[in-house]
A and B are shown apart, each in its own frame.
Chain A
Amino acid sequence: MSEKELGQKWDRCLADAAIKVGAGLGLGIVFSVVFFKRRTFPIAFGTGTGLGMAYSNCQNDLRSPYLVHSNATKEQ
């Protein structure tokens, strides 16, 4: 079901985003707490990183059908 794919992708994206943001947040919090004396930048940084990574992953995931692999060109 190709029409479900997008939904699945979105789901994955969201899930991934959630995870990544959560993980980033968590890691930020942890870093902020541990290493950076409860400053907020690591949280933002971690969340941002998490969000960014999730955005990038989502984008990649959504782009994946359009990507041309080098080995394919080589094979061609």
Chain B
Amino acid sequence: MLRVCWKGANAAARNCLCGKVPVHPLQHCRRYTSAGNSGSAAGKIVAASILTVGGGLGGTILYAKWDPKFRANVEKSVPYSDQLFEMALGPPPPPFIPMQKKPVKAEPLQISSVSEASKDSKQPKAKSKAKEKQPEPAPVDPKPAVEEAPALPPQTIEEASAEAAHIISAMSEVQSVPAPGTSNEAVPAESEAQTSTVAAEECHECASHEPAVKERPGEEVAARLAQQDKAEQDALAALSFNLEDTLGFSAKLTLQAIGAQEAALTAIGTHTHRLREAMDSEDPPDKKSAQWRELEDALSERTRAVDQAGQSLLQAKEQLEKLRVVINGAKESKIEAARPQILAAEENLHSMIVDLDKVVTKVQAAQTEAKIVSQYSELVNEAKVQFQKELSSITPEVQANWKGLTGKLSADDLNSLIAHAHRRIDQLNRELAEQRVREQIRIEAALEQQKHEHQRAVDSAVDKAIQHNHEQLRLEQEKKMQEVREVMEAEMRTQLRRQAAAHTDHLRDVLKVQEQELREEAQEALSSKMMEQETQHRRLAQEQLDSFTLDMNSAYARLKGMEEAIDSHVVAEEEARKAHQLWLSVEALNYTLKTAAADAPTEPLEGAVRTIKESCAENEFAQALATALPDESLTRGVYSEASLRARFYGVRRLARRVALIDETRNSLYQYFLSYLQSILLFEKEQEAPPTKLAAQDLDTFKLLAYATYSIERGDLELAAKFVNQLHGESRRVAQDWLKEARLTLETKQVVSLLSAYANAVGLGTTQAP
């Protein structure tokens, strides 16, 4: 069987092996043959997979290139994709941080941006400061802020100064002193604008920072304010001094110039007048010469005056320029209080300039008039000379001053003169006509010229007037502004005062509240601290007390311990004594028990018991025991066992005799019968009692036998028990004996207990050495 299996297994194995062997080449062939087919399929598969993978990668890379978020996602999710991306696309684009709002950059600004910046600087400041303020970008500064107030005024001052500079440059004929403000101030205007914008920016930044920065302490602020005030005052003083100085000087010079100009004017006027006079008058030659001399004088004077005027004008203009510079400097110093002074100075300047110009125009007019007059006079002179020449040519003998000639002339002379005169008249008429024609043209030309000049003059005058007006308006505006500013300042002050009042009220209230709170806090803190301190103090005190108490307690305890030890010693000794005494008394009691004579009871145990009671007054057990003694024993004493034993026999005899007598049978006859029974009944005197009493053992004789046996063995208790089982008369007869036996037994028991107790106590109290 096994072999068959074995063979089968072998066959199967061999079959498998053989099966495999021929298969292999087939498989190989199959593989070779299918390689071609599968090769192409595999190649297709491989190619397709490569294509897919490549396409996926390329698409991912392209999309990552386009969308950085996608790139980040892919880098996060796919481990080494970040390296691939870096290789393919370069480092990732920087993360997109939203541009924060930067403060206004310091670009080359125009006035509007500056004003905007100043407005901006105002607004956050307004917001950060008390909320009662209306963020009015009013032209007037809403608060006496020190930092950015100058931001705006410098701007207006800039504009004003620039305008004034322009005006001055336009106004002044003397271009030799061009208003230095024009070109210079264009640059400083810008730089100033820039500085002001920087200041504004700083202010803006300050404003933006200020909410972050803590408020400077009041003292510091006050100190700073005081310092600033002082500086202002100093600067103001210096400025005003400077201003006044220059103003005075310039006024003086201006007046001088004006005076000079007027002098020149008068000189010109006189000169012209004289000239005209000289022209018109037909004075005799000597007067004429005088006149001419006078005229020359006047002319020289005029030229002198004009020169002087020109010089003084130059000086005045210089000084005015200086004044203007000073004023600009004062304006730049940005001191509020100096503004009216500056304004006044400006006004003065303006008025001086205006006056100067007026005078200058007057002088110019006078000069033109003088020119005209001189020209006229020249012409007239020329004509006169010409006429004189002609006349002299015609009438050579007649010299100058032909007017005086009346009688000297002959008729020929007269005729020639008249002919000359006629000829002259014709000539003159012709000349006149010519002249008229030429005059017309000339007049037209002159008109044209005049028009032009007039136009120019008008233009210049208009310009000057415009500028003057402008300046005037500006000054007025400035004045008005100043007034308005003052009014506003006053109002502002009142409002501020009001606000300050409100603020003080509010502060007061808040301070009150704060005070309350702080007081409460302080109170709380104080009370808590006090409580703490108190508790600490109490704790310490308690600790002290506790420690002291502890010490005391320990000492006391020790003392107590010692006392207790002593007491316990005493007590122990007492106990020992007592025990001893008890034992002694119990021994006495025992002894008294032994004093029982035959048939006589013991001595009354009372004395011994009394001693016992006395000896163990506090011992409840002993007391109980002592009290448990029956009174009879105390008073009468108890019988000894021996006596009881002796007595028992008698009782026994008697009980035997009356064994039959009980309640039912108690006649004399029964008595006789029981006697008879007792005589005739023989039984063992002593019979060992069984352990268990059966019913038949309750027979008198049996009982008595048991009792006898027990009593002979000294077991009074058992005997008493048996005797207790007697019935009837036997019982009655044995009653006394039983009682006595009980008594004795009781006493003996108690005494034995007491002695045992005394022994025990004695043992307990005796201390082993």
Contact = CB atoms under 8 A, between A and B. Distances in A.
Interface of A: 1-3, 5-6, 55, 58-59, 62-63, 65-66
Given A59-B667, A66-B663, A6 B658 contact: yes
A2 B671 contact: no
A73 to B, nearest CB: 15
B668 A5 contact: no
Contact of A3 (B661, B666, B668, B737): B737
B732 A2 contact: yes
Interface string B725-752: 0000100111111000000000000000
17 contacts: A1-B736, A2-B732, A2-B733, A2-B735, A2-B736, A3-B647, A3-B650, A3-B651, A3-B654, A5-B732, A6-B733, A55-B668, A58-B668, A62-B666, A62-B668, A63-B666, A66-B666
A59 B668 contact: yes
Given A3-B654, A6-B654, A62 B732 contact: no
B690 to A, nearest CB: 27
Nearest 4 CB-CB pairs, A to B?
A2-B736, A2-B735, A66-B663, A63-B666
A17 B668 CA distance: 13
Chain B, interface SS category: helix
Contacts of A65: 732
A55 B737 CA distance: 29
Nearest to B731: A2
Contacts of A55: 668
A2 B737 contact: yes
A5 B733 contact: yes
Interface in B616-669: 647, 650-651, 654, 658, 661-663, 666-668
Which of B650, B668, B734 has the largest number of chain A CB atoms within 10 A? B668
A63 B669 CA distance: 12
Contacts of A5: 732-733
B763 to A, nearest CB: 42
Contacts of B650: 3
Nearest to B739: A2
A68 B257 CA distance: 183
Contact of B733 (A3, A58, A59, A63): A3
A1 B654 CA distance: 12
Contacts of A2: 732-737
A3 B734 contact: yes
Nearest to B671: A62
B212 to A, nearest CB: 119
B667 A63 contact: yes
Contacts of B737: 2-3
A3 to B, nearest CB: 5
A1 B735 CA distance: 8
Nearest to A1: B736
Contacts of B654: 3, 6
Nearest to A58: B668
Contacts of B661: 62
B726 to A, nearest CB: 11
A12 to B, nearest CB: 13
A51 to B, nearest CB: 12
B353 to A, nearest CB: 164
Contacts of B734: 2-3
Contacts of A6: 654, 658, 729, 733
Nearest to A13: B668
Contacts of B662: 66
A62 B671 CA distance: 9
B595 to A, nearest CB: 21
A6 B656 CA distance: 13
Contacts of B735: 2
B600 to A, nearest CB: 13
Contacts of B671: 62
A58 B668 CA distance: 8
A68 to B, nearest CB: 9
Contacts of B647: 3
Contacts of B736: 1-3
A18 to B, nearest CB: 16
Nearest to B664: A66
A55 B647 CA distance: 30
